[in-house]
Amino acid sequence: MDKVKISVGDICQIEIDNVKYASAIRGYSVPEYIAFDIPIVNRRYVVIPHNAIFIVRLLSDGMVHGFETGLKKAYTKPISVWMAEYPDSFQSINLRKSKRVSTFLPARLSSGSSVSEGALIDLSEGGGLFVCKKTSLKHNDKCVITTTMPSGEMVDKLPCVVRSVKTRKDENQIGLKFEDNGSRSYSYLNKFYDACSLIW
């Protein structure tokens, strides 16, 4: 059995007949069963036949874990859950070895008295590409970046190092390496990158 950390409340994706639904893990007992919230579409619970086979994907510590299982029973009371067979094995993909993901996060890049307003337009594990109109930064300059995640979490003055500076027309593209200082800001960016990498 693959060792995969599963927690009650973990968000997951359920795929049935090439249709993908958002769900969450509501309980499990190894090796008997695993329970999921029944997906809702247009305010109605999704209905599938007994023993229907479906694929489950969940994200944990930068890894996507997937497995195939079959429906054992559906309950609507006291809560609405699908009881499925606990998987014999998991397939895992390391998202942090994947390519950059496109995004758009308005941000501010600062180095001493120099401040550039722009945006992070893509992310990778531990780095990103910042674009702005004007900058005096150059290769190996140290700076800090401030931005806000879509969830509202604040990345506040995260230290980073300039790895590249390219000028295209009236736009500067600055490649950044974020410093892993153990802060919440670094963790927020990594979690956002992982979420973007998980294709729903």
Residues 134 and 78 in one domain: no
Predicted TM-score of the model (pTM): 0.54
pLDDT for res 4: 80
Residues 68 and 136 in one domain: no
Going residue by residue through the chain (200 aa), what tens digit of pLDDT does each one get? 456 888 899 889 999 998 999 999 999 999 999 999 999 999 999 999 988 999 999 877 667 889 999 999 999 989 999 999 999 888 876 655 556 788 899 999 999 888 999 999 988 878 899 999 988 888 899 999 999 988 889 999 999 999 989 887 788 999 999 998 888 898 888 888 877 766 54
Residues 26 and 69 in one domain: yes
DSSP 79-109: S-EEEEEPPS--EEEEGGGS--EEEEEEEEE
Domain assignment present for 81: yes
Domain end, chosen from 94, 119, 150, is at 94
Residues 163 and 129 in one domain: yes
Domain assignment present for 2: no
Q: CA-CA distance, 145 to 76, in Å (whole number)? A: 47
pLDDT for res 93: 67
How many domains are contained in the chain?
2
Domain assignment present for 57: yes
Going by C-alpha positions, the residue among 137, 150, 146 that lies closest to residue 183 is 146
Q: CA-CA distance, 129 to 29, in Å (whole number)? A: 43
Domain end, chosen from 32, 61, 94, is at 94
CA atoms in the 13 A half-sphere facing the CB of 133? 1
Residues 50 and 105 in one domain: no
Domain assignment present for 150: yes
Q: Where are the alpha helices (DSSP H) in 117-199?
A: 184-197
Domain end, chosen from 44, 71, 94, is at 94
42: CATH = 2.30.110.10
Residues 75 and 146 in one domain: no
Residues 62 and 147 in one domain: no
pLDDT for res 98: 52
Residues 106 and 32 in one domain: no
Domain assignment present for 6: no
Contact by Cβ (8 Å): 143, 113: no
Domain assignment present for 32: yes
Residue 186: which domain range? 101-197
Please calculate the CA angle 119-121-125 and round it to the nearest 5 degrees. Answer: 115
Domain assignment present for 139: yes
Q: Taking the C-alpha atoms of 133, 135, 140 and 143 in order, what is their torsion angle to the nearest 10 degrees?
A: -100
Residues 166 and 141 in one domain: yes
Domain assignment present for 84: yes
Residues 149 and 165 in one domain: yes
187: CATH = 2.40.10.220
